[in-house]
């Protein structure tokens, strides 16, 4: 049996605003397959968490069409 199935990585992202007097939001991201979880207050931290499981730089290159450098 061949292994032609696509690899799927799933994430749940929650944005939380604790109190009306607080201006800042915070977030929690969970990798569904491993149940790994991380809190974040800067979305760049959520993207870094995703990059642990998904080659984010390759996705960016595909979206921008910059595949000349082998990305």
Tell me the pLDDT tens digit for each residue of 27-62: 999 999 999 999 999 999 999 999 999 987 766 555
pTM to 2 decimals?
0.70
Is pLDDT above 70 for 70?
no
Residue 64 CA to chain centroid, in angstroms? 18
Q: Rounded to the nearest 5°, which phi and psi values hold at 50?
A: -60, -40
Give the residue-averaged pLDDT of 3-11.
88
Report pLDDT for 66.
Answer: 57
Structure-model confidence comparison of residues 18 and 70, the more confident one:
18
In a domain, 5, yes or no: no
Average pLDDT over residues 14-37: 93
Residue 45 lies in a domain: yes
Write out the residue range of the structural domain in which residue 36 sits.
11-64
* H helix and E strand count, the chain: 2, 3
When divided into structural domains, the chain yields a total of 1
Establish if 6 belongs to a structural domain: no
Q: Is residue 4 a part of any domain in this protein?
A: no
Distances 46 to 3, 11, 21, 39, 67 between C-alpha atoms, Å: 30, 10, 24, 8, 24
């Amino acid at each position: 049996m061949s292994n032609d199935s696509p690899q799927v990585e799933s994430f749940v992202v929650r944005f939380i605003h604790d109190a009306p007097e607080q201006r800042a939001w915070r977030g929690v991201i969970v990798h569904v397959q491993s149940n790994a979880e991380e809190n974040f207050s800067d979305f760049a931290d959520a993207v870094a968490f995703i990059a642990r499981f998904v080659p984010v730089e390759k996705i960016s290159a595909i979206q921008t069409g910059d595949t000349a450098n082998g990305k």
